[in-house]
Amino acid sequence: MQILLKGALLYAKEEGYTDFSAGTFFFDLVLSDKLFAYKAKPDDESQVFNDKEVQLLIDHLWKEQDIRGLGLILMFQTGMRVGELAALRRENLKNGAIRITATEETFVDPKTGKKVCEVVEHAKTNAGVRTIILPEGADKTIKAIRSLNPFGEFLFMDKLGRIRAKRFNTWLHRSCKKLGIPERSTHKIRKTYASILLSNRVDDRLITSQMGHTDIATTRNIYYYNRKTADENKQVISNAISF
């Protein structure tokens, strides 16, 4: 990379395009040893919820009947991004599916210099515009959500207004701590959803459609983790290696 860049800079100087000194640039250039260091994939346990943890969380969240907790259950059932969850309007739900067309974004307002968190009328990516098929159990979840917020513009609202993505994350951390399981972010729910679909050998095209990915490689390489416990993994290996 340095050879190519140095050659380009020298050529530009010789041709009169710049008076920039390549020698000075590379003398001052300091590259961290960590820049090209190999980054190991995180441990499976820190990236997804296993079956026992999912059941504990869903039972707990359902019992509490808080709209934020019901939103987390819907995430487990759909794998949507938390920003998409926070941006859902009532009209996005119809015919047993959820149409994703918007998301929540946080940015700095150039006029005021202040951080702004609001719903933008586009998905995170082009592939993010999609229709998510709801499993049968999601009907019960949505009915409970609507009973807590029957008239709001957005599906998730309370006395403070639209519930932002950050509040769903806070509620998940609180619930994990209360149940005594490792605290994880809402993005780990999305990884859990993807891992469940892949483990159950759901058709690749259906998985990418549900996740809002352009190809299955993204899902497999970034979102797929082993969700079995240590004891379950030991049993799997013991069943395979029986000699």
Give the closest residue to 233 by CA, choosing from 43, 41, 76, 55: 43
Query: Do 123 and 211 sit in the same domain of this protein?
Result: yes
Residue 155: is its pLDDT beyond 90? yes
Provide the domain count of the chain: 2
| 132 within a domain of the structure (yes/no) | yes
Query: Do 23 and 61 sit in the same domain of this protein?
Result: no
pTM for the predicted model, two decimal places: 0.81
Highest mean pLDDT: which range of 13-27, 96-110, 168-182, 226-240: 168-182
| 36 within a domain of the structure (yes/no) | no
What pLDDT band is residue 24 in, cutting at 50, 70 and 90? low
Query: Do 108 and 14 sit in the same domain of this protein?
Result: no
**The domain that contains 163 carries what CATH number?**
1.10.443.10
Q: In the predicted model, what is the mean pLDDT of residues 203-227?
A: 94
Q: In the predicted model, what is the mean pLDDT of residues 189-194?
A: 97
- DSSP codes of every residue in 120-168: ESS-SSGGG-EEEEPPTTHHHHHHHHHHHSSS-SBSSEETTEEPPHHHH
- Residue 7: domain span: 1-30
**Rounded CA gap, 85 and 74, in Å?**
9
* Predicted local distance difference test score (pLDDT) of residue 68: 98
* Predicted local distance difference test score (pLDDT) of residue 20: 65
Query: Do 13 and 120 sit in the same domain of this protein?
Result: no
What pLDDT band is residue 124 in, cutting at 50, 70 and 90? confident
Contact between 90 and 155 (Cβ < 8 Å): yes
Query: Do 131 and 22 sit in the same domain of this protein?
Result: no
